[in-house]
Structure 1
């Protein structure tokens, strides 16, 4: 016997000849005729307790389109429809047709609906750029509509519910799902749904005026007469289909009760799988969704084939999810979706239909259990390569900058094919921690966009039109890009780089961290990797290792830190925080909370780095902190230097504090490396009173003169909060020699991690063969054709340099070594 996944069971028109004759006699076949109006009234009464109103439409996708367009208001262009990754393509397609950009977020691990935490965080981050919330009532689940009504009121955001599979579902109170909702709830009546008709949809809302507007929109926007007053299209349900819908409505309770019994039988008989957390008293089950056990995703095709061979139909709704589909990768803003990735990768759907019995479900379950047990015994395929040419440790902004440098020179395919392995602890490449900061970048929008503009790889070149790139492009010519927006662009670019590396033979291990690396007797490096999902560890051999793990602000550095004679930890104590915490999302709110009882709050910031100035800029923008005159004090040792494009430009503004060694011989820039840029530069120019600029009265500046500075001591004693902005140190990987002894690095003693060729150096300053470093706190100083002023003594952290000459320097060395090894 065969058990199809879905067996459409719409009403037979041949059994409703009298109703068809009634349609013919009326002479009305569309345009909200008597059969459609009767169905709408009967559905409102039968399914939704007689409250609100219902509107029949040609199909659910059309219903979503008009509901979204209405909810978005007059100006949808450039705004977002926030939706979960685990839904059908129609959800995102409808948003695009309504003029909105899909903003795709992760799901809840239990009910598989949109993650409440993600939705609320994104509403805070994006504000009114989110026009509409578009949750999906996953597989007919009765999601919490009261919560969405609260979000609608709290944030002034539109709400449309995609309830495609929910017509017949009852919520926790026993009402039809969507009854009396203050927004549009859009149901499907497609032939494959539980409420099977042929093609059609039903929109319900407790707001009858909303239904009136949507009705006009389904009829070309005609509210009265034949003058279009609203955006509209033709989305009306034909009379013949309404006849079928009325017949289905008469039997829907019996159908849903039967299917609920089948679902319960599956939950009783299936072994070793995970089920969706069901919400509501009853749902209109279209099929039975299950999750294979962790680690069994790679066996899904084999399990599906075995089921089909036994006559059992199966599907994989929704795999690939929205974030994995090419159109939406081009047109949508896709956020990290680790839970959706896992759920979609393990999803299978088993048969549910009106003709199946509970005994059939027992048979199907027994067959499935047997197949699953057999496939579970198949050994997993190892994921590591035998020997990689390069293990890239870290796929954040620095790691992907190295890939970008290779791509710009057309060498990324060569690098991937030579045996590239990338290990990134997060779920995707590109963003790292970039998007977790509340400040603007110290790189221009043009720098970010240059990573993909005119790339020889079409996958990257077309990124220039990606929604995240269009957001970054708004800041061309501005003082930096908000890092939240920049982070989303580099993540989207990272996804494209991931695809390129994979396509050309490289390996990308997201969700993996590298614990350590050691030299082997044969001249290779053996690195210990751990898969974060289950803690499994394994070794990866490689010819070279590039460390791109970023920087951090170690707490132990503060223990011995003294400023102007004051020991920070022992004397400042619990008033001390580091700039990394202050600059993170939520940092200003935390500071505001700490100062809420202070009448005239005082903050001291220590350091002359970009992070110190960025902290000041951020605090001055924080309206919730009532800063008075002199409320913020900057303590710094070195002079503050603004960047200038030419000496002439500097002199024209009256800035003359530079000499020949402060001018880059390649670019002609003044303080190319040491100078502050963008927002930080503007603040420094005001501090220095350049060209008649006036300092912000809320800010005072004091240059620390030595180890015994009474002015510094006084400022620190008066401060309510002291923020240490003392720069970053590299997250250097533990490195061992062939005998297992730890190799001491120059970075361990506060020196640069790398030399002028980006090679990691030991404590004596000697480069370690096959080890490279790039990124924040690596300590690289440009030289030669890379430019830079002779007076510069710090470390350069420019994204543009990483994506160009610095990244290429590592790529060329790795590939040249690979060529020599083959020769």
Structure 2
């Protein structure tokens, strides 16, 4: 039986390089950028890069990445920032960033070419650009990715760029140049024995900027620039002279080797028709192996398939599975974005052999074996899927509120019990952050509040998040007014990852990438919830004893259409000048506002509402750079309720001369003044200035007007004169249709602009009666603290706070679910 190893190292024979070896011995120079290394660097620049720029030989590609990343981060002035990279790459990419003092920021990949997802990259540059030091894209499997685009990103965002091209030495781009030709940044290649440009161990850094290569050369030699005195960060990363001899010999062979391997790829592509293959960029790839995706139905059978291939004489691999986001080191030391595409690609990946000994006929034979093995595996896949087990609790929504419920269960060490029979349904690819990270504003919770979810948590994997990069990022704002939500999001995401691991380890199930369409009460007091898998639209039923709705809130258009201001329709008064605050507060929202106001010498904006989002909108408008040219009263706040600042005590309020409160405005538990109704942090400072408390002077750009009635001429005039009107009218819960046993819709209190839940977090019908087994938590659920939870008697409205959800409010639901379960066991 013919055997086809996955990789067969084929470096030049050292025994055939006797003349060069004698030359080294005669020179007495065995390292330190000797004549052999310099000759190879000159020749590889001429042969593969058209003589443009310069090249630097290094001891290995990982060291090349380290020095290039370090230099790029120093150059942009963010030496301890983030290194943005795709998840589908080798561990060396992330390791190099860590050793360079940066935190990997891991993003998803493109579904076709498997390189970094351009939408994810640009979104992260928009939202976290002030912390991103370096982009480290991977030229996946030798593909010639678009380097012109990275030149553009480098200029637009002021970030460094280092290309991980480990498999690409010998790749030719669409213009017929060696990949990396004349690029202004560093491109790093591997010359490891397993690569197409096989030597022994070594790497190459190329750039169109010869000055950059000079600086990197000094860094490979302990940071010495012209003398034996370190002036730069440095390390010993020099390529030995003997290895340079092998590299020079391989350079003579590389075009023939790559051409032969390209023929193998053509044969594979013909033989693997019907399978998903990587989209190719460039004229020729320096192929190391042939990547192919298993059909989705066979992903779970990958081990059996690779075993069958081995039995048939074919070696296989699974580059890169696990990908970075799945590896323990990076879960602990990196910031990880949702990676649904990388998850899917890695789970289905098989690497087939490409070696210098193979012919096109061999590739065709291996493809035929692979197709046969897959066909045999397909025949054993059951035609039907077994019925899903009944869940004790179905949690719909794995965003901040849903994971807050799980966090509450950890506080008393109950998550293991709560996870038994738990199914979590989440639309996104991961639980935790939800839509929180999309907003360009600062939280109305302190860093300490965010960190209490993990600090001293009974579950050590949760407590360890305090030292996670996301935890450290939030901790930097301990003495600040709030935390930018773009920084809070990764902390909640990291917490969600750990919570999900605990749930899964204790018998629970995470259904990410799924959405709930509606739930129906069935005989026996259970619920049947219709779920849909977003990837393919398939639907199925999930039975459960309890359902917890944590789907968050939104600003409904129908409420906007019905809104009256000063006795007239808001839509009629504002027309196409009307925006919602949720749109403005999101990343990119202020760019839209600035665009709408471009050319206005003294623009006028009206913000309607007395909520935190209204004040946050004004604060964001004022701090946006470049500043908008507002004149006096350029921003008008219209609201009906009085604006109240929070105070930690009566004494603190009186010390500032604020006395506009009564005993009913004081929380009997905490002693706080306006504990629930009062504005906090940035919004509070804005309100204090508006009210002139303690001698504060109001910003002349802001006019604060409380609407007096239907005939309020000031409000009408402000709306008529405004260039933009922003409605900050609060949030309503995302609707989940609920049906009774007859299939008839249950009329919920939330449909009548009332709270969705009662004082015990139970969802109520239009008559105010609690619906057994149906709970709600989160933004717009309408929960109002009571009893030992505190709050002022005068408060009306709803209280939304992550700390409350993660503690007393979430615990309220956990206790009820576990208590009911204990009662069932006792009866049984």
TM-score of the two chains, using structure 1 as the length reference: 0.98
| 1:625 corresponding residue in structure 2 | 628
Once the two structures are TM-superposed, the CA of residue 384 in structure 1 deviates from its matched residue by 7.3
C-alpha separation between the residues in 2 aligned to 1:804 and 1:613? 27
C-alpha separation between the residues in 2 aligned to 1:384 and 1:506? 16
| 1:328 corresponding residue in structure 2 | 330
| 2:742 corresponding residue in structure 1 | 739
| 1:663 corresponding residue in structure 2 | 666
Residues 670-819 of structure 1 correspond to what in structure 2 (within 5 A)?
670-819=673-822
Deviates more, 1:598-607 or 1:638-647: 598-607
Once the two structures are TM-superposed, the CA of residue 790 in structure 1 deviates from its matched residue by 0.9
Q: C-alpha offsets along residues 239-282 of structure 1, whole Å, 9 cap, x if unaligned? A: 22112111111111111110000001000111321111111111
| 2:35 corresponding residue in structure 1 | 34
| 1:114 corresponding residue in structure 2 | 116
| 1:61 corresponding residue in structure 2 | 62
C-alpha separation between the residues in 1 aligned to 2:14 and 2:55? 24
C-alpha separation between the residues in 2 aligned to 1:699 and 1:675? 20
Indicate the SS of the match to 2:66: helix
C-alpha separation between the residues in 2 aligned to 1:102 and 1:266? 35
Q: 2:339 aligns with which of 334, 337, 340?
A: 337
* 8 Å Cα contact 2:70/2:79 also seen in 1: no
| 1:642 corresponding residue in structure 2 | 645
Matched, 1:13 2:14: yes
Q: 1:268 aligns with which of 258, 270, 285?
A: 270
Deviates more, 1:475-484 or 1:641-650: 475-484
C-alpha separation between the residues in 2 aligned to 1:67 and 1:381? 53
C-alpha separation between the residues in 2 aligned to 1:146 and 1:710? 56
Once the two structures are TM-superposed, the CA of residue 298 in structure 1 deviates from its matched residue by 1.9
Matched, 1:518 2:499: no
C-alpha separation between the residues in 2 aligned to 1:68 and 1:138? 18
C-alpha separation between the residues in 1 aligned to 2:724 and 2:767? 39
Deviates more, 1:147-156 or 1:542-551: 147-156
C-alpha separation between the residues in 1 aligned to 2:187 and 2:723? 51
Once the two structures are TM-superposed, the CA of residue 119 in structure 1 deviates from its matched residue by 2.1
| 2:72 corresponding residue in structure 1 | 71
* 8 Å Cα contact 1:76/1:99 also seen in 2: no
Deviates more, 1:671-680 or 1:471-480: 471-480
| 1:347 corresponding residue in structure 2 | 349
* 8 Å Cα contact 2:73/2:79 also seen in 1: no
| 1:404 corresponding residue in structure 2 | 407
Q: 1:479 aligns with which of 475, 478, 481?
A: 481
Q: C-alpha offsets along residues 496-539 of structure 1, whole Å, 9 cap, x if unaligned? A: 11111111111000000011111111111110000000001011
* 8 Å Cα contact 2:128/2:486 also seen in 1: no
* 8 Å Cα contact 2:144/2:179 also seen in 1: yes
Residues 132-531 of structure 1 correspond to what in structure 2 (within 5 A)?
132-377=134-379, 378-379=381-382, 382=385, 385-417=388-420, 419-531=421-533
C-alpha separation between the residues in 2 aligned to 1:383 and 1:59? 51
Q: C-alpha offsets along residues 137-166 of structure 1, whole Å, 9 cap, x if unaligned? A: 111111122222232233332221111101
| 1:822 corresponding residue in structure 2 | 825
Q: C-alpha offsets along residues 54-108 of structure 1, whole Å, 9 cap, x if unaligned? A: 1111110011111111111165543111111111100110111111111112222
Once the two structures are TM-superposed, the CA of residue 456 in structure 1 deviates from its matched residue by 1.1
Once the two structures are TM-superposed, the CA of residue 624 in structure 1 deviates from its matched residue by 4.2
| 1:87 corresponding residue in structure 2 | 89
C-alpha separation between the residues in 1 aligned to 2:80 and 2:212? 24
* 8 Å Cα contact 1:271/1:369 also seen in 2: no
Q: 1:96 aligns with which of 83, 95, 98?
A: 98
Gaps of at least 5 residues in structure 2 are: none
Matched, 1:546 2:538: no
Once the two structures are TM-superposed, the CA of residue 781 in structure 1 deviates from its matched residue by 0.6
C-alpha separation between the residues in 1 aligned to 2:162 and 2:530? 48
C-alpha separation between the residues in 2 aligned to 1:28 and 1:633? 76
* 8 Å Cα contact 1:312/1:364 also seen in 2: yes
Q: C-alpha offsets along residues 672-703 of structure 1, whole Å, 9 cap, x if unaligned? A: 11100000000010111000001111111111
Indicate the SS of the match to 2:176: coil
C-alpha separation between the residues in 2 aligned to 1:167 and 1:206? 15
Once the two structures are TM-superposed, the CA of residue 385 in structure 1 deviates from its matched residue by 4.1
Indicate the SS of the match to 2:129: helix
Once the two structures are TM-superposed, the CA of residue 710 in structure 1 deviates from its matched residue by 2.2
Q: C-alpha offsets along residues 455-509 of structure 1, whole Å, 9 cap, x if unaligned? A: 1111111111111121111111221111111112211211111111111111000
RMSD: 1.5
* 8 Å Cα contact 1:592/1:624 also seen in 2: no
Once the two structures are TM-superposed, the CA of residue 761 in structure 1 deviates from its matched residue by 0.6
Q: C-alpha offsets along residues 282-338 of structure 1, whole Å, 9 cap, x if unaligned? A: 110000011222343222222222212211111111111111111111111112222
Once the two structures are TM-superposed, the CA of residue 180 in structure 1 deviates from its matched residue by 2.1
Indicate the SS of the match to 1:66: helix
Q: CA 1:569–1:538 in 2, change beyond 3 Å: closer, same or farther?
A: same
Once the two structures are TM-superposed, the CA of residue 569 in structure 1 deviates from its matched residue by 2.0
TM-score of the two chains, using structure 2 as the length reference: 0.97
Once the two structures are TM-superposed, the CA of residue 32 in structure 1 deviates from its matched residue by 1.6
Indicate the SS of the match to 2:201: coil
C-alpha separation between the residues in 2 aligned to 1:475 and 1:700? 30
* 8 Å Cα contact 1:447/1:800 also seen in 2: yes
| 1:24 corresponding residue in structure 2 | 25
C-alpha separation between the residues in 2 aligned to 1:203 and 1:383? 54
Indicate the SS of the match to 1:131: strand
* 8 Å Cα contact 1:565/1:713 also seen in 2: no
C-alpha separation between the residues in 1 aligned to 2:649 and 2:386? 52
Once the two structures are TM-superposed, the CA of residue 666 in structure 1 deviates from its matched residue by 0.7
Once the two structures are TM-superposed, the CA of residue 383 in structure 1 deviates from its matched residue by 8.6
| 1:616 corresponding residue in structure 2 | 618
Deviates more, 1:8-17 or 1:94-103: 8-17
C-alpha separation between the residues in 1 aligned to 2:37 and 2:539? 62
Q: CA 1:666–1:383 in 2, change beyond 3 Å: closer, same or farther?
A: farther
* 8 Å Cα contact 2:79/2:133 also seen in 1: no
C-alpha separation between the residues in 2 aligned to 1:383 and 1:318? 31
Indicate the SS of the match to 2:296: coil
| 2:127 corresponding residue in structure 1 | 125
C-alpha separation between the residues in 1 aligned to 2:679 and 2:579? 23
| 1:599 corresponding residue in structure 2 | 601
